[in-house]
Amino acid sequence: MSKAKLLIAALLILSIITTPVLSYSEGYYENTVQFEGNYTHVYHVNITTGYFSINVSGAIIVPPSIYGDYLIVTTSGPFNYMTRGVYEMLGCVYAINIFNGKILWKDVFPNQIMTQPIIVNGTVIVGLGNNFFVTCDLRGNGTNEIVALNVKDGKILWNYSTLGEDMPTPAYYDGLIIEANGNGCVFALNMSGYPVWKDYITSYDSMSSILLVNGTIYFGSAEPYVFWAINATNGKIIWFDNLTELFPNETIHGLDDSSPAYYNGIVVTSFTFVINSTTVQDMLMGLNATNGKILWFFDEGEGPTPPNLNSPPEVIYDGIVFHDTPSAGILYAINLTNGKPLWKVRTGPTTSNVNIYNNYALIQNASGTLFVINITNGSVVRELKLLAIPGPGNLLITKNSLIAVGLNGEVQAVPLSLLLGKTTHNRIIIPVIKVIVKLIKMLLHNVF
């Protein structure tokens, strides 16, 4: 065999062994019934995906959902990098092939979409709305509605109009879609889009997505700032904590932004105290899920007032609460039972929340830097920049990939093995690669 042919053969072998061999599954057919998949917000989907990177040209505020072979992504129009906001009356729903990243269908709507897709037996539920105020207690102008789509082709099945925005991600429970919105209402629709019950609670919800636990929903609202527990079946109020009354001498923000999490009888949420026109103090709060008794507060520190969302979602894993903020910019690990800090990592301003994989916490800050952190001791194992710049949601983890979506429209599916270090496969393959590379260099020297 000639040296030129040997060179070509070596290059082919190198290409083959460095290309990941993926065994694709049949698709994922579990329902997505609430924000980030479950009440702890540790968001894993049991599917093997392809690796790809695409841009959908609109701001992706929240995590995507998966059903069948579809990655369902919602957008909110162009992202303004200077103000970190979205201002156009435009929203889209995309269906992306989870194996190759190709866009399968796209729907365009006349308002922003900030809800993670709820998917029930092939029906996709999204909410339309924006953060502009019509009056001091009515948030969301333009077209506000809950919309149902067919996951296979994007065909609109029904829509339900509301007075205020529908920015929080709703929840699905026992045949009901349950939402809290921008005109002080909490309501339930059946899967045909007809109202079943409705409460007027007099304060609006901004981005506090519905937390569903054993037939009870939890969320925060603003003006006044109240945290609610409501029966999901009939809409009856179980309990509430009015923070505006609890702290009469403080100006409170953020409770209506925070998407709470639950574990082992405790609900955790967050809010801010306004120190002055440029500074806020971040607060984390643990409550008894049964009766609303406040168990603890934790002071996360002070920082510059964020331009939009004040309080990102909480995550709970193995009795540890994980939370970061766009102002103080410190990721804390907190004991769920007593609210005591275990460790902290300075990440910089952060609107997203962590996901957990193999004893690591993964979180992106507002500039897109991904931190890989050992959850036992808080040591930073790795920092790397992803293309996606995250909003108030976490990274989606599958069997083999990490899926990151961004305010800049990026959708990335990257191998978990590249983020978490060398695998057994790498330890076997890398020495072989080194030998082949050495062979190629020798052949190149002799051929040319």
User: Which parts of 134-253 fold into alpha helices (H)?
Assistant: 243-246
pLDDT band of residue 61 (cuts 50, 70, 90) is very high
Note if the bond before 224 is cis, omega within 30 degrees: yes
> Radius of gyration of the chain from Cα atoms?
23
What digits encode the pLDDT tens for the residues 113-132?
999 999 999 999 999 999 99
pLDDT band of residue 84 (cuts 50, 70, 90) is confident
Residue 376 has pLDDT above 80, yes or no: yes
pLDDT for the residue numbered 149: 99
CA-CA-CA-CA torsion sign (163, 165, 171, 172): positive
pLDDT for the residue numbered 37: 98
Distance CA 198, CA 210 (A): 15
Q: Which of 243-247, 419-423, 437-441 has the lowest mean pLDDT?
A: 437-441
What is the average pLDDT across 227-234?
99
Distance CA 140, CA 133 (A): 6
In angstroms, the Cα distances linking 306 to 84, 123, 255, 326 are 10, 35, 14, 6
pLDDT for the residue numbered 426: 42
What is the average pLDDT across 73-94?
91
Residue with more model confidence, 360 or 25: 360
What digits encode the pLDDT tens for the residues 44-60?
999 999 999 999 989 99
pLDDT band of residue 74 (cuts 50, 70, 90) is very high
What is the pTM (predicted TM-score) of this model? 0.89
pLDDT for the residue numbered 23: 56
Residue 29 DSSP SS3: coil
393 near 34, Cβ under 8 Å? no
pLDDT band of residue 313 (cuts 50, 70, 90) is very high
pLDDT band of residue 433 (cuts 50, 70, 90) is very low
Residue 446 has pLDDT above 80, yes or no: no
Residue 246 DSSP SS3: helix
Smallest Cα–Cα separation from 110: which of 124, 128, 87? 128
What digits encode the pLDDT tens for the residues 166-182?
999 999 999 999 999 99
Distance CA 65, CA 200 (A): 30
pLDDT for the residue numbered 3: 54
DSSP 288: E
Distance CA 420, CA 209 (A): 30
Residues contacting residue 133 through CB under 8 Å, at least 6 positions apart: 139
pLDDT for the residue numbered 418: 84
Please name each of the domains of the chain with its CATH number: 3-447 (2.130.10.10)
pLDDT for the residue numbered 146: 99
pLDDT band of residue 154 (cuts 50, 70, 90) is very high
What is the average pLDDT across 243-268?
98
Percent of the chain exceeding pLDDT 70 equals 88
Residue 161 has pLDDT above 90, yes or no: yes
* Ordered DSSP codes for 252-279: EESTTT---EEETTEEEEEEEEEEETTE
Distance CA 354, CA 391 (A): 12
pLDDT for the residue numbered 309: 87
pLDDT for the residue numbered 108: 98
* Ordered DSSP codes for 104-125: EEEEEESS---SPPEEETTEEE
What is the average pLDDT across 245-264?
98
Distance CA 255, CA 248 (A): 15
Residue 30 tokens read as: 């579990």
pLDDT for the residue numbered 431: 46
- How large is the angle between the packed helices 3-18 and 424-447, nearest 10 degrees? 160
pLDDT for the residue numbered 248: 97
Report residue 181: phi and psi, to 5°: -135, -165
Residue with more model confidence, 108 or 441: 108
